[in-house]
């Protein structure tokens, strides 16, 4: 059941470490000073963020890997993200606070996600974005490998009509482990994303963002669905009558108003 009280992030229990990736054990800014929390977050907000991770798992967008974040509701220069944990296992008590350089606030020994820099740098570059999903959804990955543009196959995927650029990490950083493991890589991904709602990551996955947590989840889910539909359409041959950019703008305006219907359905099925 969703509570109505407030919970300070500095008071959340640490849990167990589950990842070998190294991260700061305390919260230090670039100048060495300890970071202070932007303040307590309503419990129901933390529950929604944990629920978003579980929804993405239930919808086949993430599995043991992937993550979802949102801006701190009281401070645009902070964001909220679970400790490193499989999405389907996340709970409100796993949520941590970060600054936009992805330094954790009062980590208390909890292990952050290695690729948290994706989120911090998108939030820094895009003040219109309040939530970000990073996933490796399987139907999407081929479009980052082949050069075939991902298109908006139906109205629920209207946001794709604006384009889904491909982040090729090797173009700036040479051979890597393909992970966005520092702020410089995160900045480059944010640059490639530009004003789009989705960016593909070659041989890796994708990011989807939105003005709300609910819309970022909606876009991540329907990016995967649209990719499956596009694959099916290709079997029927070209041309494919996907949405035009103008149609995408009009249809996405409707989704921004009515997309909460899907969230309400998905959210009700998730229990803590």
Residues forming the active site: 115
Both structure tokens of 224: 């995967």
List the beta strands (DSSP E) in 9-120.
Answer: 41-42, 67-72, 75-82, 95-99, 104-105
> Is 71 in contact with 80 (CB distance < 8 Å)?
yes
List CB contacts of 199: < 8 A, sequence separation 6 or more. 164, 165, 166, 167, 189, 192, 193, 206, 207
DSSP 178-228: S---SHHHHHHHHHHHTT-SEEEETTTEEEEEESSHHHHHHHHHHHHHHHH
Alpha-carbon separation of residue 101 from 69, 98, 159, 185, 188 (angstroms): 14, 8, 28, 12, 14
Rounded to an integer, what distance in angstroms lies between the CA atom of residue 248 and that of residue 146? 23
């Amino acid at each position: 059941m969703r509570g109505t009280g407030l919970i300070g992030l500095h008071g959340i229990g640490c849990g167990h470490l589950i990842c070998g990736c190294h991260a700061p054990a305390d919260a230090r800014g670039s100048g060495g000073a300890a970071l202070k929390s932007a303040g307590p977050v309503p419990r129901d907000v933390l529950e929604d963020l944990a629920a978003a991770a579980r929804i993405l798992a239930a919808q086949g967008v993430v599995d043991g890997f992937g993550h979802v974040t949102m801006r701190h509701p009281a401070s645009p220069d902070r964001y909220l993200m679970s400790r490193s944990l499989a999405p389907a296992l996340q709970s409100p008590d796993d949520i941590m606070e970060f600054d936009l350089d992805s330094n954790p606030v009062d980590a208390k020994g909890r292990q952050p996600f290695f690729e948290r820099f994706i989120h911090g740098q998108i939030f820094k570059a895009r003040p219109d974005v309040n939530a970000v999903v990073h996933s490796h959804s399987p139907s999407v990955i081929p479009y980052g490998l082949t050069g075939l543009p991902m298109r908006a196959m139906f109205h629920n995927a209207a946001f794709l009509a604006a384009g889904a650029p491909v982040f090729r990490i090797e173009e700036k950083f040479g051979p890597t482990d393909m992970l966005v493991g520092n702020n410089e890589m995160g900045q480059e991904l944010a640059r490639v994303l530009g004003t789009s709602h989705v960016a593909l990551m070659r041989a890796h996955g994708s990011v989807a963002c939105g003005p709300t947590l609910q819309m970022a989840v909606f876009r991540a889910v329907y990016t995967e669905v649209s990719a499956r539909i596009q694959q099916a359409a290709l079997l029927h041959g070209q041309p494919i009558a996907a949405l035009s950019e103008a149609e995408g703008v009009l249809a996405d305006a409707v989704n921004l108003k009515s997309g909460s219907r899907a969230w309400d359905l998905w959210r009700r099925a998730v229990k803590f």
